[in-house]
Amino acid sequence: MADWTSEEKKEAFVDQLLKWWDRNKRDFPWRHTKNPYDVLIAEMLLRKTTAQQVEKIYNDFLNRYPNSKALAEADENELKKMLRPLGMEHARAKLLKRFGAVVEEEYGGVIPSDYAVLLKLPGVGMYATNSVLS
């Protein structure tokens, strides 16, 4: 076995990782957007539920609440009904409405792009922040 350079090892690892991804990847709609609002909504919906459950409502949710203004103004009972398949609909509805209101009131409906500021948004933690910024 020949000595591999660090660069050769890196290339081999990347090649194996990409082959694994081609065989095992799961495709979801939130993986096809760079819209920070859409990404944050996906991350908040994915909390404590499966990706398959979120996939069932994700596009309908974004059609009904396409931005922070629509989310802030949402009827909470309607929101709960839409979120019911994910569970914890009471807590999720309150959190999502609060998220929408803060984005509207404090950031003019624009999702901030600063790491520390994103972390201050209701329901947004490190994982969601990193998802948006990546």
Tokens standing for residue 107:
């950031």
Instruction: Indicate if 76 belongs to the active site.
Output: no
Q: How many CB atoms lie under 10 A from the CB of residue 4? A: 11
Q: Which residues of 18-35 are buried (b: 16+ CB within 10 A; e: fewer)?
A: eeeeeeeeeeeebeeeee
User: Catalytic one among 7, 8, 43, 73?
Assistant: 43
The residues assigned a catalytic role are 43
